[in-house]
């Protein structure tokens, strides 16, 4: 039996088992069907490179990895949608005021603070900030990027100090059925 000529036979032989594995991994029939389709599409594209004696193992490995990918995407979407639901801090909340953050973040130099205020308080473009400060546009870009990273680090450190908030939303979530995606 050659893989090139017998794709239909291979599909008939292995599709039900691949589907069952996917269904067990994701617990959603429609997702299991999609993953099964992806597995056989990938098989069809790579059929010339897969040894016949390794075919069932290859199909199940790809199915398992696709199921793990599904759970990864699912958790990212959950985290994103949860972040969208959280109320935005009030613009007059002193903890989130730009000037307060700039004052509290000790790692920011004066030029970082100036660029951040011009960009986010006065809505200036990089070229306008460059003209105002005497820096080149590339220096302004680098200064803003570095300053924002310093602010992110400061906010992350503060969040880690609060015991009621987990530092990472996925810390306690696990992918079911021992799927690792490796």
> Global pTM?
0.45
Average pLDDT of the residues of the chain: 82
Q: Can you give the CATH number for the domain in which 139 is found?
A: 1.10.10.10
Q: What is the mean pLDDT of residues 46-52?
A: 89
User: Of the given ranges (11-25, 37-51, 69-83, 130-144), which has the lowest mean pLDDT?
Assistant: 69-83
User: Which pLDDT score, from 0 to 100, does residue 55 have?
Assistant: 93
Instruction: Let me know whether 16 and 34 are in one domain.
Output: yes
Q: Can you give the CATH number for the domain in which 51 is found?
A: 1.10.1740.10
Of 101, 87, 114, the residue nearest 151 (C-alpha): 101
In a domain, 127, yes or no: yes
User: Which pLDDT score, from 0 to 100, does residue 96 have?
Assistant: 61
In a domain, 169, yes or no: no
In a domain, 1, yes or no: no
Look at 110 and 98; give whichever has higher pLDDT.
Answer: 110
Look at 54 and 157; give whichever has higher pLDDT.
Answer: 54
**Residue pLDDT, tens place only, 88-104:** 444 555 556 777 888 88
Answer with the one of 53, 86, 119 that is the final residue of a domain.
86
Q: Show the domain range for 39.
A: 7-86
Instruction: Let me know whether 139 and 110 are in one domain.
Output: yes
Three-state DSSP state, 173: coil
CA separation for the pair 165, 151 (Å, rounded): 18
- Burial environment of residue 48 by CB neighbours within 10 A (0 to 12, 13 to 18, 19 or more): exposed
User: Which pLDDT score, from 0 to 100, does residue 138 have?
Assistant: 93
Q: What is the mean pLDDT of residues 16-42?
A: 94
Structural domains in the chain (count): 2
In a domain, 30, yes or no: yes
Answer with the one of 86, 109, 140 that is the final residue of a domain.
86
- Non-local CB neighbours of 138 within 8 Å, separated by 6+ positions: none
- Non-local CB neighbours of 102 within 8 Å, separated by 6+ positions: 108, 113, 116, 117
For the chain, the 3-state helix, strand and coil shares in percent, each to the nearest 5, are: 70, 0, 30
Q: Rounded to 5 degrees, what are φ and ψ at 135?
A: -85, 160
Count CB atoms within 10 A of the CB of residue 179.
19
Instruction: Let me know whether 105 and 79 are in one domain.
Output: no
Instruction: Let me know whether 114 and 143 are in one domain.
Output: yes
Q: What is the mean pLDDT of residues 100-110?
A: 86
Instruction: Let me know whether 150 and 82 are in one domain.
Output: no
State the pLDDT confidence band at 86, using cuts at 50, 70 and 90. Answer: very low
**Residue pLDDT, tens place only, 128-171:** 999 999 999 999 999 999 999 998 888 888 888 765 544 444 44
For the chain, give the percent of residues with pLDDT over 70: 77
In a domain, 167, yes or no: no
């Amino acid at each position: 039996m050659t893989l090139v000529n017998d794709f239909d036979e291979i599909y008939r032989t292995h599709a039900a088992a691949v589907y069952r594995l996917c269904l067990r991994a994701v617990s959603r029939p429609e997702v299991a069907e999609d993953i099964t389709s992806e597995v056989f599409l990938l098989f069809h594209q790579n059929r010339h490179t897969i040894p016949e004696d390794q075919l069932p193992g290859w199909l199940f490995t790809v199915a398992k990895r696709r199921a793990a990918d599904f759970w990864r995407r699912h958790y990212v979407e959950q985290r994103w949608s949860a972040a969208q639901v959280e109320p935005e801090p009030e613009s007059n909340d002193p903890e989130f005021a730009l000037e307060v953050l700039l004052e509290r973040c000790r790692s920011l130099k004066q030029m970082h603070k100036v660029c951040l205020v011009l960009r986010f308080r006065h809505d200036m473009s990089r070229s306008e900030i460059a003209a105002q400060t005497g820096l080149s546009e590339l220096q302004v870009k680098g200064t803003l990027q570095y300053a924002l990273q310093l602010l992110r680090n400061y906010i992350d450190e503060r969040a880690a100090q609060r015991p009621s908030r987990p530092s990472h939303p996925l810390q306690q979530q696990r992918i079911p059925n021992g799927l690792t995606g490796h």
